[in-house]
Amino acid sequence: MKTFGLARGVVGLTGLFQLVLGIILWSGHLRSLVNVHMAVGSLFVMGLWVLAGAGSRVRAPLALVLTTVVWGVVVLVFGMVQSRLLPGRIHWAVQVAHLLMGIIAMGLAGRLQMAVRRAFAAVAPARH
C-alpha cells in the first residue's frame, strides 16, 4: 500500500521536525517560524489521519483507529489556540501539554503502523 508508506514517512519526518522546531520556538528563538510550525503540524495530523484510514482498511483495532482520528483533531485545535491559553507566567504549562499531545500522537502513529504491518504480514503468506 503506497499510500501507507507515504503517510508513514510524512508522519515520521514531520513529527521529528515538529519536535526540533518546537523546542527552538520554546527557547524563544526563530519566533518568525511559528506559522511554519503550524503548517507542518497540520501536515503531521493529515498523515496521522491517512494512517488511521489505512488501519481501518486492514481492520486494525477500531478503538485505535478512532482514538487516532479524534486525537488528531484535538492536537490540531489545541495547537491552533494554544497561544491564547493561560497567557503570562504559567503559559509554560500549555506548552508542556502541547508537547505531550504531540508525543502521544506519535505513539498512536507507531501503534497504527505496527497494526498495519501485522495485517500485511498476515495476508502476504496467503498470496504465495
pLDDT, tens digit (0-9, with 9 covering 90-100), for 50-97: 999 999 999 999 999 999 999 999 999 999 999 999 999 999 999 999
Crossing angle of the two packed helices 91-127 and 34-57, in degrees rounded to 10: 30
- Alpha carbon 111 to its chain centroid, in Å, reads 12
Cell of 105: 500522537
Provide the whole-model pTM.
Answer: 0.90
pLDDT of residue 8: 93
Instruction: Report the SS3 class of residue 90.
Output: coil
